[in-house]
Amino acid sequence: MFFFANFLKTSVYSIILCSEKSTFFTGYYQMNPVAKFFKYLWNDKGIALAGAWSFNQLAYAIVYPFIPIYLCQERGLDYALVSIIFPLLGIAVIFAPLPCGWLTDRFGHNSMLLAGQFLRGIVFFFLAGCVYFKAPFYVFAAALMFNTSVGVAFQVGSDAYLANITTPEERPGYYSKIRIGYNVGWALGPMMGAFFAQTPFWVFFILTGLLCLAGTFHTRINCCRKNPVQKVKQENSSENSSGNILKSILHNKRFLFLMAGTLFLMLLASQLYSTMSIFSTSSVGISRKALGSIYSLNGFMVLALQVPLVALLTKLNVKVMPQLLLGTLLYFAGYMQLGFAGGAIAIAVAVAVVTLGEIIVQPALYTAVSSETNPSNAGRMMSVSSLMRGIGYAAGPWIGGQLFSHTSSLVMWSVLSCFALIAALLFAFFSVEKKA
């Protein structure tokens, strides 16, 4: 596959080189808008990486919603046993980022991008065998944990790759494109899964494995054809040892404030697909169909507004810090509004406000974190952000569940919304410390 990828890459390079030196092709590119568009796509690393994310998320989203259904209905396992999978996946998300960050700095972000997708494809094929031969539950669960871990490897490699090929001014725009790719994959996945619902479940994993291999091929051709920042040799740099990296993080108050703010923000963001769904259907009493429409609103808003809104903020020269504060305050306003919601429309308005906050704060947060890195430690530094994200998404639903069970709706959303205010305060400390 890699031989064919290199052959195709060389061939396309030759065509582009000829086209750039040929008067005929130069005129053709200038006159033909379709040719200009595809040349733009070829040269835009942000779009290429967004495509890699689309493959990655599409493969995951096709099968993920149907795993509990398969295990409970087709295998006849008790849901109490099946539900163990979700905390196991949470453990993988929490413990995988730091080793993946070290591997990224050791072997390079291109290697992790390719290895993460390729190994995920192999694990999906293994899971297809587990389904076909009805492997024991613990084998199935262990394979899913490893699959999640190599998915984190791709994510950390992507974060380091983007940090190394862009300037701080470019990052919000690039990150916005990646979020578009992520959401396209996540939106199409369940639809494709439902389309193939009548096929044997092992076919799902074959399909997802093939998608991951196709994603690997795409990444090799379009993301790794040039390496703008060569891998930094670390052997002779005492600053880049694991101990010194940890020491530098612990002594970097700016970074610690930023990571603490990230944790509190993720504790709140995780409520959207956990506590809010239970609250909406149980406490408010809206239908599942209405809830699905509200979640679709979230996805469509991201697809429609992510790139233009970030471009507008960039054009208006709005700095990262004001974007962080504005985004977190919108999070606070949206989640606080849920405490007063009495129907589907009120919940939809609240989700729209939260989505605006998400659109603004996520690229700004990535830019702020990546500004604390350099090419030699980007993997490890960005992996700390992934760790905070994993802890937030693992612990957040549990906190929301406890508040849902023991408090009123208004108290629950008031407490949860305060996480956004705490995050905003920590981001402000980060800004002050940076100026100092």
Instruction: Please give the angle made by the CA atoms of 22, 27 and 33, to the nearest 5 degrees.
Output: 125
Look at residue 347 in the predicted model and tell me its pLDDT. Answer: 95
Look at residue 11 in the predicted model and tell me its pLDDT. Answer: 40
CA–CA distance, 309 with 306 (Å, rounded to integer): 6
Identify the CA nearest to 368 among candidates 233, 256, 277.
Answer: 256
Look at residue 253 in the predicted model and tell me its pLDDT. Answer: 86
pTM for the model: 0.74
Buried b (16+ CB within 10 A) or exposed e, 341-369: beebeebbbbbbbbbbbbbbbbbbbbbbb
CA–CA distance, 82 with 243 (Å, rounded to integer): 39
CA–CA distance, 64 with 202 (Å, rounded to integer): 13
DSSP secondary structure, 52-75, as one string? HHHHHHHHHHHHGGGHHHIIIIIS
CA–CA distance, 99 with 152 (Å, rounded to integer): 10
Kindly list the distances between the CA atom of residue 279 and the CA atoms of 17, 79, 291, 299, 415, in Å, as whole numbers in the listed order: 58, 21, 11, 20, 15
pLDDT tens, residue order, the chain (436 aa)? 443 344 334 343 433 344 344 444 445 445 556 555 555 555 678 888 999 999 998 888 888 778 887 888 888 888 778 878 878 888 888 889 989 988 998 898 899 999 999 999 999 999 999 999 999 999 999 999 999 999 999 999 998 898 888 887 888 888 888 888 888 887 788 778 777 777 898 998 999 999 999 999 999 988 886 544 444 444 444 445 455 667 777 778 889 999 999 999 999 999 988 889 889 988 999 887 888 788 888 888 988 899 899 889 989 999 999 999 999 999 999 999 999 998 999 999 999 999 999 999 999 998 898 888 777 777 888 888 888 988 998 888 889 989 998 999 999 999 999 999 999 999 999 887 654 4
Cβ(258)–Cβ(389) below 8 Å: no
Look at residue 38 in the predicted model and tell me its pLDDT. Answer: 52
